[in-house]
Amino acid sequence: MSIYETLNPMQQEAVCHTEGPLLILAGAGSGKTRVLTHRIAWLIDEKGVNPWNILAITFTNKAAGEMRERVDDIVGFGSEQIWVSTFHSACVRILRRFADHLGYERNFVIYDTDDQKSVIKEICKRLNIDTKIYKERALLSAISSAKNEMIDAKAYALNVSGDFGKQRIADVYGEYEKVLYKNNAMDFDDLLVKTVEVLRNNEDVLNYYQERFKYIMVDEYQDTNTVQFRLVSLLAGKYRNLCVVGDDDQSIYKFRGANIYNILNFEKEFSDAKVIKLEQNYRSTQTILDAANSVIRHNKGRKEKTLWTANEVGDKIVFHQYQNEYDEAYQVVEEISRVVSQGKAHYNDYAILYRTNAQSRVLEEKFVARSIPYKIVGGINFYQRREIKDILAYLKTIDNGRDDLAVRRIINVPKRGIGMTTLNRVIEYGEARDMSFFDALECCDDIPRIGKTGEKIKGFVNMIEVFRAQSEYITLAELLTNVLEETGYIKELEEEDTEVAQGRIENIDELMNKIVAYEEEEEEPTLSGFLENVALVSDIDSLDEAEDYVMLMTLHSAKGLEFPYVYMCGMEDGLFPSYMTIVNDDPEEIEEERRLCYVGITRAKKRLTMTYAKSRMVRGSTQYNMLSRFVKEISPELFDLGAKPEKTKQESRIQRPSDFSRKQTTKVATAYGKAFQVNKAAALDYTVGDMVRHIKFGVGTVINIVDGGKDYEVTVDFEKSGVKKMFASFAKLKLID
């Protein structure tokens, strides 16, 4: 049977429409990616197109890898000639060849955020710009947005029209471009911008690539931004054989400048474009598809789509409610383990999806405890993350300082201006005397040629010693708080103010949760005890080799992928949709989160399980959340509500070799544990979900309560005035019976 017979008539039409622009707009699982791979095969096998003339662009490296595999399978010989890559790697390839046309050396370097920041810092100093007012990160993000909109430094400067703030940004932007050029460096946005520039300004280069890429395909088109759109239109400018596929309901990268209007732009720029809609979903059961549709229906201003499936009705959506995130993780892992051990599924039939990276920690610990192989897709295991390693290195150094690697890891993190030459001298000194690195640091006065850096070293040693002294009389959570504050670690991340930095902060918060849970449960908590406990769960080497593993990933990373069994964990308002989305109360943000939910649901082929934890520790304090609004949007008849969670013993929050009884404690650490006090949950006479009355705002529903130490922070959704956050003692909310 020819592979084309495995396509439906609309898909076949899309595959065979090889000449001229083509837009495939279709819902999840309708075979868009499949059409792209089959189109490549068709071009080569049936149209005799040279594989060399084909460019396929995908969104992530994983997607590129998968597409490459699918193409290899159906094309066979010659498939390695096809460019299957992400936007960025395609651009790097082009620039490595033609960057000299822009006056760059071809071996230009690519700057990461740290490099960019030091450039900005240096410029601000030179221009006398106060970085307290003009934050480095804000400057960088203004420059990045400008680049993604293809506004260069000159154009930016022309547009400031007397706005002093913008003028400063324009000054920095101009200088920044000069410095990068001088250093033969490009930042991430440059890769795209400069490629467009090379193509625009050099007819021969443009000609070369237009001739080369006679057939261009772009997957996940809904998440392209302005400069990416420009790039594609330039490349396809001559032959116009451009096929883009996307789904406006799955646009989830607006925060990175993705521009959903590119779908409209496409129809404008390529007005003769053929538009094909695919309506049959092949991936999911009827039930899963119904659930997805019932959620996405709540978004306004979307293109209404019909999506049906011939697949069976299938299992109901499973919904579980748990006491807390530990129960949730425990039960999910147990369930997977049970089914797999019965031989009914493989580990890699499963994916666990969550909203934030930090949620992986508890799940990972349960997997390690059960010796079940798992892999974090598109990310890094919790205990391997940079910030977690850094903070643990601080704690190890405070604990005893005998771990040279740990001390060396943090001596200059955050930057303290202690250079490599100095450090080598300290190492040499220590090795000659058989001392630990930390002991050698303590002797820095005696080390020759240390000079002024000695003061900086002493500052570091002193700080560690103060922490050591403190650790005698404060709790571990307080110690961690002090480390985060005194070292400036958190401040640096806060100032960076990027998506990545925010993720790092969330991970550190999660480590705080771990410490608080450890202290609550342990009879005699100690720093060494905590570090041993961590070593127990972070030792995952043995599981690394497995070929069959459960996949854990954020909802964002799951785009384009599919799995027989999907778990969506943490289905709570305040987590998903995120807390900030709810507080900002911006309908567009909620819609973006809803699209993310749609992406999550539609990853599942056979069965979808959604889980909800009534309480969850956030920054060291227990938070009670309401069920996610997205779950409520799914019609109740689609759920298997009989599937109540089995009553199990209260799940331990920490991993330990032997069983023990959980110590009941009322101690609760606040955000960064400044104050410790008795849990006052009994002090409020209302709880999440209750109706309350406020003297000014009227009637509303309590949607969140956070124990903020001295007071409770209560979030209420008022019928008239929307969501408001307030302190319980001031709000004087009255419970309505």
Ligand X SMILES: Nc1ncnc2c1ncn2[C@@H]1O[C@H](COP(=O)(O)OP(=O)(O)OP(=O)(O)O)[C@@H](O)[C@H]1O
Select the residue whose beta carbon is closest to ligand X and give its number.
31
Q: Is 282 in the site for ligand X (CB under 6 A)?
A: yes
488 Ramachandran zone, left/alpha/beta (phi>0; psi -120 to 50): left
What 8-state DSSP symbol labels residue 308? B
Q: Is 33 in the site for ligand X (CB under 6 A)?
A: yes
Which residues fall within 8 angstroms of residue 213, CB to CB, at 6 or more apart?
53, 54, 55, 83, 235, 236
Select the residue whose beta carbon is closest to Mg ion and give its number.
33
Please report the sign of the dihedral spanned by the C-alpha atoms of residue 520, residue 526, residue 531, residue 533: negative
Of residues 7 and 235, the one with the C-beta less far from ligand X: 7
Among this protein's residues, is 559 annotated catalytic?
no
Of residues 87 and 579, the one with the C-beta less far from ligand X: 87
Task: Work out how close the CB of 125 gets to Mg ion at its nearest, in angstroms, rounded to a whole number.
Answer: 47
What 8-state DSSP symbol labels residue 569? -
C-beta separation of 498 from 255 below 8 A: no
Known binding-site residues equal 26-33
> Annotated catalytic residue: which of 68, 409, 603, 606?
603
Of residues 289 and 692, the one with the C-beta less far from ligand X: 289
Of residues 335 and 562, the one with the C-beta less far from ligand X: 562
C-beta separation of 182 from 109 below 8 A: no
Known binding-site residues for ATP equal 26-33
Member of 62, 147, 283, 320 binding ligand X (CB under 6 A): 283
Task: Work out how close the CB of 42 gets to ligand X at its nearest, in angstroms, rounded to a whole number.
Answer: 14
Q: Which residues bind Mg ion (CB under 5 A)?
A: 32-33, 560
* Residue ranges in 582-621 that form contacts with ligand X under rule CB under 6 A: 602
Task: Work out how close the CB of 63 gets to ligand X at its nearest, in angstroms, rounded to a whole number.
Answer: 9
H or E segment at 533?
helix 527-538
Q: Is 31 in the site for ligand X (CB under 6 A)?
A: yes
Among this protein's residues, is 456 annotated catalytic?
no
Which pairing describes strands 215-218 and 274-278: parallel, antiparallel, or unpaired?
unpaired
Which pairing describes strands 215-218 and 242-246: parallel, antiparallel, or unpaired?
parallel
Residue 29: which of ligand X, Mg ion, none does it interact with, CB under 5 to 8 A by kind?
A: ligand X
Task: Work out how close the CB of 575 gets to ligand X at its nearest, in angstroms, rounded to a whole number.
Answer: 23
Task: Work out how close the CB of 599 gets to Mg ion at its nearest, in angstroms, rounded to a whole number.
Answer: 11
CA distance 94 to 142: 26
What are the tokens at 404? Answer: 């040279």
Q: What 3 state SS string does 631-690 have?
A: HHCCCHHHEECCCCCCCCCCCCCCCCCCCCCCCCCCEEECHHHCCEEECCHHHCCCCCCC
What are the tokens at 542? Answer: 């043995």
- The three-point CA angle 189-195-198 to 5° equals 135
Q: Which residues pair with 640 in a beta bridge?
A: 318
Site map (CB under 6 A) of ligand X, residues 235-274, x = contact: ------------x--x------------------------
Q: Is 6 in the site for ligand X (CB under 6 A)?
A: yes
> Annotated catalytic residue: which of 171, 187, 190, 219?
219
CA distance 227 to 196: 8
Member of 14, 15, 23, 30 binding ligand X (CB under 6 A): 30
Among this protein's residues, is 33 annotated catalytic?
yes
Task: Work out how close the CB of 35 gets to ligand X at its nearest, in angstroms, rounded to a whole number.
Answer: 7
Tell me if residue 621 falls in helix, strand or coil: strand
Of residues 31 and 620, the one with the C-beta less far from Mg ion: 31
Exposure class string for 142-175: b at 16+ Cβ within 10 A, else e: bbbebbbebbebeebbeeeeeeeebebbbbbbbb
Task: Work out how close the CB of 36 gets to Mg ion at its nearest, in angstroms, rounded to a whole number.
Answer: 8
What are the tokens at 351? Answer: 């994916």
CA distance 581 to 259: 19
Task: Work out how close the CB of 23 gets to Mg ion at its nearest, in angstroms, rounded to a whole number.
Answer: 15
Of residues 210 and 228, the one with the C-beta less far from Mg ion: 228
**Taking contact as CB under 6 A, which single stretch among the options 29-37, 261-269, 413-421, 676-684 is the one that binds ligand X?**
29-37
> Annotated catalytic residue: which of 187, 220, 387, 573?
220
> Annotated catalytic residue: which of 210, 228, 250, 701?
250
Q: Is 358 in the site for ligand X (CB under 6 A)?
A: no
Q: Is 14 in the site for ligand X (CB under 6 A)?
A: no
CA 39 → CA 60, 70, 78, 266, distances in Å? 20, 12, 15, 20
Task: Work out how close the CB of 252 gets to ligand X at its nearest, in angstroms, rounded to a whole number.
Answer: 12
Of residues 73 and 428, the one with the C-beta less far from ligand X: 73
Which residues fall within 8 angstroms of residue 239, CB to CB, at 6 or more apart?
210, 214, 215
What are the tokens at 267? Answer: 């129809």
Member of 29, 373, 574, 620 binding ligand X (CB under 6 A): 29
CA distance 183 to 433: 42
Of residues 175 and 249, the one with the C-beta less far from Mg ion: 249
Task: Work out how close the CB of 345 gets to ligand X at its nearest, in angstroms, rounded to a whole number.
Answer: 17
Residue 291: which of ligand X, Mg ion, none does it interact with, CB under 5 to 8 A by kind?
A: none
* Burial class, 424, CB count within 10 angstroms (exposed 0-12 / middle 13-18 / buried 19+): exposed
Residue 247: which of Mg ion, ligand X, none does it interact with, CB under 5 to 8 A by kind?
A: ligand X
C-beta separation of 571 from 628 below 8 A: yes
**Taking contact as CB under 6 A, which single stretch among the options 6-14, 72-80, 287-295, 458-466 is the one that binds ligand X?**
6-14
Q: What 3 state SS string does 184-251 have?
A: CEECHHHHHHHHHHHHHHCHHHHHHHHHHCCEEEECCHHHCEHHHHHHHHHHCCCCCCEEEEECHHHC
What are the tokens at 64? Answer: 């590129």
CA distance 714 to 690: 12
Residue 244: which of Mg ion, ligand X, none does it interact with, CB under 5 to 8 A by kind?
A: none
Among this protein's residues, is 632 annotated catalytic?
no
> Annotated catalytic residue: which of 33, 116, 481, 581?
33
Largest CA distance in the chain: 81
Member of 14, 21, 23, 32 binding ligand X (CB under 6 A): 32
Binding site for ligand X (CB under 6 A): 6-8, 11, 26, 28-34, 247, 250, 282-283, 560, 562, 602
What residues act catalytically?
32-33, 219-220, 250, 603
